[in-house]
Amino acid sequence: MSAASPGTEPATSVSVPSADDASVSGGKRVLLAKPRGYCAGVDRAVITVEKALEMHGPPVYVRKEIVHNRHVVDTLRERGVVFVDETSEVPEGGLVVFSAHGISPAVRAEAEERNLRTIDATCPLVTKVHKEVNRFARDDYDIMLIGHAGHEEVEGTSGEAPDRVQLVDTEEDVEKVQVRDPSKVVWLSQTTLSVDETMERVDQLRERFPEISDPPSDDICYATSNRQVAVKAMAAECDLVLVVGSANSSNSQRLVEVALQAGARDSHLVDYAHEVDEAWLDGVETVGVTSGASVPDVLVMELLEWLAERGWADVQEVTTANEKISFALPRELRSGSETARSSVR
Ligand code: SF4
């Protein structure tokens, strides 16, 4: 996996303050990871729904959660968005937005059959993986898709070539997959995995299929890998790492795992500050804070306030990269305001 991603400038020097630097009594301090929170794909997806509401008025239907974050979904629901599981729940002729995680061609076809008006908020970095699946399927490869069973992104990506794609989630899956020609096998991946675990799975696949081809470029996206690098940089200094994110957010869950693997003594995922169990803070001096790629920063600021009220008021940011990337809005919505920022932040 590459270290430098497009649109990302590595920090010139990464300094992680040691506990001796804590300036407040009792050594209580917070290390705040940067980058954290909203990625370009999530920002684009949320703006897409906001603009659809503005242009067409409610109800705007969204298939699945637009992004995996409870606060974002609840806020948009209050503004008139109706979240559905399937396009069959959208009335004939209705307007439906497809989520950032992407859809299979079958879902697109069903929407067309039902005369739905559609706006596709699939992240361009997910679309890139769809295109890779199509290309390797056309070249008659067997495709090992590393990802989590049941995740919407994986369902959409596999749906591009269901007869060519096999999902590899666990080590056992590596033993189970069957290929027609071991010289024509490629691995691709979900965009929001743990970089290290994915490489473990690739090594296992390579033991079975020494000629397996690598993806043309990293499938794990810049935002996922940047947030993991940042949490890794500070984890060993932390007694506790709090990750703001929802339980169904893959990249947020990975941040908890990465923090623990990188030396944090404890780590938990919370949607909101009030979900923090005060018992987690027993004996803790350094708290690390970060957030998943679908998390508005207002939720991180609320967590920092909550911690400050309990004595963790000294906040030091640990910056491992500066992200500059942004994506144009879906074609259906472009009207000169592509650079707008979502208001759910
Ligand atoms: S996490 Fe990555 S792939 Fe997913 S929406 Fe954000 S930029 Fe796109």
Dump the DSSP string for 36-51. -S--HHHHHHHHHHHH
Using CA atoms, how far apart are residues 66 and 345, in angstroms rounded to an integer?
15
* For residue 7, pLDDT beyond 90: no
Q: Is residue 10 part of a domain?
A: no
Q: Is residue 15 part of a domain?
A: no
* 90 and 136 assigned to the same domain: no
* For residue 338, pLDDT beyond 80: no
Residue 48 Cα, ligand 1 centroid: separation in angstroms? 15
Read off the pLDDT of residues 210-238 as tens digits, 9 standing for 90 and up.
Answer: 999 999 999 999 999 999 999 999 999 99
125 ligand 1 Cβ < 6 A: yes
Single out the catalytic residue among 50, 152, 153, 160: 153
Average pLDDT, stretch 151-155? 97
pLDDT at res. 343: 73
More confident residue, 27 or 256: 256
Tell whether residue 250 is among the known ligand binding residues: yes
Q: Which atom of ligand 1 is nearest to the CA of 40?
A: 7
**221, 254, 291: residue to mutate for ligand 1 pocket, most atoms within 8 A of CB:** 221
pLDDT at res. 335: 65
C-alpha 166, offset from chain centre: 22
* 105 and 183 assigned to the same domain: no
303 ligand 1 Cβ < 6 A: no
* 233 and 215 assigned to the same domain: no
More confident residue, 301 or 342: 301
Q: Which atom of ligand 1 is nearest to the CA of 325?
A: 7
> Among 270, 288, 300, 318, which Cα is nearest to 29's?
288
Q: Is residue 117 part of a domain?
A: yes
Q: Which atom of ligand 1 is nearest to the CA of 123?
A: 8
121 ligand 1 Cβ < 6 A: no
Rg (C-alpha) for the chain, rounded Å, is: 21
Looking at the structure of the chain, the number of domains it has is 3
Q: Is residue 80 part of a domain?
A: yes
Tell whether residue 130 is among the known ligand binding residues: no
**Of the candidates 197, 220, 243, which is a domain's last residue?**
220
* 171 and 116 assigned to the same domain: no
Separation of first and last alpha carbons in the chain:
30
One-letter amino acid identity for 320? T
Q: How confident is the model at residue 18 (pLDDT cuts 50, 70, 90)?
A: confident
* 144 and 197 assigned to the same domain: yes
Average pLDDT, whole number, for the chain?
93
* For residue 49, pLDDT beyond 80: yes
pLDDT at res. 154: 98
Angle value at C-alpha 93, between 88 and 97, nearest 5 degrees: 65
Read off the pLDDT of residues 28-45 as tens digits, 9 standing for 90 and up.
Answer: 999 999 999 999 999 999
| Backbone dihedral angles phi then psi of residue 78, each to the nearest 5 degrees | -60, -25
User: In sequence order, which residues have a C-beta less than 8 Å from that of residue 7 and are 6 or more positions away?
Assistant: 40, 222, 323, 324, 325, 326
Residue 52 Cα, ligand 1 centroid: separation in angstroms? 20
Using CA atoms, how far apart are residues 1 and 199, in angstroms rounded to an integer?
8
Q: What is the dihedral of CA 245, 249, 253, 255, to 10 degrees?
A: -70
* For residue 315, pLDDT beyond 60: yes
* 246 and 300 assigned to the same domain: yes
H-assigned helices in 167-243: 171-176, 195-208, 222-235
Tell whether residue 238 is among the known ligand binding residues: no
* For residue 340, pLDDT beyond 80: no
Q: Is residue 46 part of a domain?
A: yes
pLDDT at res. 1: 46
C-alpha 48, offset from chain centre: 17
- State yes or no: is 92 an active-site residue: no
**Of the candidates 106, 122, 138, which is a domain's last residue?**
122
290 ligand 1 Cβ < 6 A: no
Using CA atoms, how far apart are residues 288 and 249, in angstroms rounded to an integer?
19
Q: Is residue 194 part of a domain?
A: yes
Tell whether residue 294 is among the known ligand binding residues: yes
How far CA 215 is from CA of 1, 150, 326, in Å, comes to 10, 22, 23
> Among 31, 15, 4, which Cα is nearest to 312's?
31
Average pLDDT, stretch 106-121? 96
Q: Is residue 11 part of a domain?
A: no
Range of the domain at 315: 26-39+221-323
Residue 191 Cα, ligand 1 centroid: separation in angstroms? 7
Q: What is the dihedral of CA 166, 169, 170, 175, to 10 degrees?
A: 10
User: In sequence order, which residues have a C-beta less than 8 Å from that of residue 52 and are 6 or more positions away?
Assistant: 60, 95, 97, 119, 333
Q: Is residue 344 part of a domain?
A: no
Q: Which atom of ligand 1 is nearest to the CA of 124?
A: 8
Q: In the chain, how many H helices and how many E strands?
A: 10, 14
Tokens of 251: 């990249």
